Structure 1
């Protein structure tokens, strides 16, 4: 009966597979070996993972195949012992499993001899392969550690970045970088209130959908918000790499990153339910007038399977608890309220003049603020030097730890101040462009609420109202407390004040 053979080939990375290095040549060599020894090749198994791991799909499939062919004259052929495993323990576990199944090993680069001398040679070869693997891993780690210390991120590029194609550093991804930047800055500014809103923004973005289809998940957003790598810095605690200035281009400023961290520390984000949040934009903003608890929402289903949307209060002990409020009724009242907050053209012109003057004054103060930030940054760096001197002169571990924390805080403050000074020196956008963008929300919130998506509706709530809006089941929405901008813009309509003629109080002269 002829020997049936299964060829096993392995490379260490997907890159080798994509470039065609290793697998094809190994299989060709094994096929030639089988032909010379009259082995009938019936199966080929491959892997693309490290030789120090036993969790390999190709290896699992090989073991299953050996079990199905137990008792037959089976030979497992591979190019070199290191292809089976570069770990002594794993190698012998695989070999023992093959022997139990009645199979034997064959290799064109190693002669198996089941004598004490042959087993010694085999063990020596496997031990040498293990030594080379560990030596290569240690060398790779040293090189990676050095690259990280120099400011080059060596691991998988985060969302919004990609490798530069030369293997030297990462660069912003042309498609996904704007999406990541908008998500991070939106959370820092309060445009996005929860992780769920960021998740929805990314997953529904056309640029994201053109590249990826799978959902990202809430934990993805949480990790993304915490990473300083988007601000041009990174650290790697497992290897003791402190905060390092990266060579890559940042997507956001360090000041924006600090705002994100501050928001993360102040608020906890509840799990996101898309069916609720997107269908009930006022959920969490409208509060019960009886108990002050924000209204929640739900879909009610009748016996025929029809669904009806409702808001409701779930405050403990509240007399309105679990009393349903039809969504259409509440949101229609809210639209009527928004419709009353439309400033006149005269008010818009006055706002333009006032804001233009404020913009000019702001520009005049930028230089002074920049000088102040530079001075404070130098002061923080000087403090770092003082604490470093103190660390050298003390041996108390607790004191050293306290000094190191203080140094870390001062270094972070210095980075923020330097970045602030640098940003203050940059050319600013034109006033007219910013004014039009701001007035888009301020001048017609009702139109935006009717025609824009969930994110814009949350923007309207933030820009228009300074507090949550109370709702009474008997009397409807209570008086809204609007932001200063809306109070100023609606003043002429409410009779609280009059607009001054652009030329002042004095009568015109001939």
Structure 2
């Protein structure tokens, strides 16, 4: 039987009617509250304010006159920005490379198992929020500029979508076989196709060759000895000298990249230092709780079986301390 502090329910028909009416009214109120909440959220996202759970790299902060809105959440924001820009430029060849980079970065938040999933990388690369835009297709709200600051530009976001859809391609993957260092980098003089390479088995030995793999080409399957092509390539390199303008541009690019990496490393060090302080504080609290649990107390009432025993509580604290100590070692 249902019990209420203000209404007494019974089994007679009148009491059942009252109970059903109260349940219907309460359900209606819940549905109306949900509808009003959705309408307010829909109106807010129409004005360019993101209203769902903050994606990685953002957090909600109250802004005077504008309510809660997305702001950068460092250092995760810089990690996400580097991943997006790296994939757009081709520096990260594919999504698997981005996943490995995020997995290795200690500042990127992982899931409960400590792993960055491939699905999460896909969501990261296709979320227009990172470009400063918002949308809610299920509510009929089309894509529009958001009120928050994007981590990347709209042009970079578009390049990411083109790469995902296959409209553009990453740079040709380097072949790390030391036998043929020019494979994929030297093109055929007739059709422009990058040359492939192989070992040819002779009567008494194996011989290395470069050759064009494109069918229909005048030089298709015509072999060029490795020693010949690599010697000519070395001779060409000796005569190549960058112009002063190119040297200045390259120097500026390397300096900008170095400054970016240095700032990123400093941010990582600062964030990891803050994590160490937090972990040490948590360990100190757990040690205090172990001491408190070890002090003999008044025996509990036998009729309350849900109270855990002191050894089990201490064991749980010790397990948590071991986990925190492992985190400290990983951060160090």
Please indicate the TM-score interval, normalised by the length of the shorter structure.
0.5 to 0.7
Q: Which runs of 5+ in 1 are unaligned?
A: 1-103, 270-279, 292-335, 360-430, 440-510
Aligned-pair CA distance for 1:251: 0.3
Q: Does 1:162 align with 2:162?
A: no
Confirm whether residue 289 of structure 1 aligns to residue 197 of structure 2.
yes
Deviation beyond 3 Å, 4+ runs, structure 1: 209-213, 280-283, 285-291, 435-439
- Preserved CA contact (<8 Å) 2:49 2:69: yes
In structure 2, what is the equivalent of residue 382 of structure 1?
none
TM-score by length of 1: 0.36
Deviation at 1:193, TM superposition (A): 1.2
* 1:117 aligned residue: 14
Shift in CA distance, 216/268, structure 1 to aligned 2, threshold 3 Å:
farther
Partners of 1:163 and 1:215 lie apart in 2 by: 25
After TM superposition, give the deviation of residue 268 of structure 1 in Å: 11
Task: For 1:441-460, list aligned pairs within 5 A.
Answer: none
Q: CA RMSD in A?
A: 3.8
Describe the SS at the equivalent of 1:110: coil
How many residue pairs align between the two structures? Answer: 204
Instruction: Write out aligned runs for 1:244-263 (5 A).
Output: 244-263=144-163
1:174-201 Cα deviation digits (max 9, x unpaired): 1100010000000000011111111111
Q: Is the 8 A contact 1:195 1:222 kept in 2?
A: yes
Find the residue that maps to 2:102 and give its secondary structure.
helix
Preserved contact between residue 231 and residue 250 of structure 1 (Cα < 8 Å)? yes
Question: Are the equivalent residues in 2 in contact too, given 1:352–1:435 (CA < 8 A)?
Answer: no
Could you tell me which residue of structure 1 aligns to residue 93 of structure 2?
Answer: 193
Change in Cα spacing, 1:119 to 1:146, as seen in structure 2 (3 Å) is: same
Shift in Å, 1:210: 9.3
Deviation at 1:263, TM superposition (A): 0.6
Distance 1:140-1:281 versus aligned 2 partners, 3 A rule: farther
Alpha-carbon deviation of 1:433? 3.5
Equivalent of 2:138 in 234, 238, 258: 238
Instruction: Work out whether residues 77 and 151 of structure 2, in 8 Å CA contact, stay in contact via their aligned partners in 1.
Output: yes
Query: Is 2:49–2:148's contact at 8 Å kept on the other side of the alignment?
Result: yes
**Correspondence 1:83-98 to 2 at 5 A:** none
**For residues 250 and 212 of structure 1, do their structure 2 counterparts lie closer, same or farther at Cα, with a shift above 3 Å needed?**
farther
What is the match of residue 132 of structure 1? Answer: 29
Judged with a 3 Å threshold, the aligned counterparts in structure 2 of structure 1 residues 353 and 289 are, in CA distance, closer, same or farther, namely closer
Quote how far apart the aligned CAs of 1:110 are.
Answer: 2.4
2:49 and 2:134 in contact (8 A); partners too: no
1:203 and 2:94 are equivalent in the alignment = no
- Give 1:255 deviation, angstroms: 0.6
* Cα distance in 1 between the residues matched to 2:110 and 2:35: 40
Kept in 1: contact 2:99–2:118 (CA 8 A): yes
Partner Cα distance (1:204, 1:160) in 2: 17
1:296-445 superposed matches below 5 A: 351=242, 353-355=244-246, 432-436=251-255
For the residue of structure 1 that corresponds to 2:96, the secondary structure is helix
Alignment of 1:18-29 (within 5 A): none
Map 1:217-228 to 2 at 5 A: 217-228=117-128
Structure 1: how far apart are the matches of 2:162 and 2:140?
A: 25
Report the Cα offset of residue 239 of structure 1.
0.6
Which residue of 2 is the match for residue 214 of structure 1?
Answer: 114
Relative to the length of structure 2, the TM-score reads 0.53
Over 3 Å counting, the alpha-carbon distance change for 1:112 and 1:244 in structure 2 is same
2:165 counterpart (261, 265, 269): 265
- Cα 1:213/1:183, change in 2 over 3 Å: farther
Counterpart secondary structure, 2:107: helix
Structure 1 residue 259, shift from structure 2 partner: 0.5
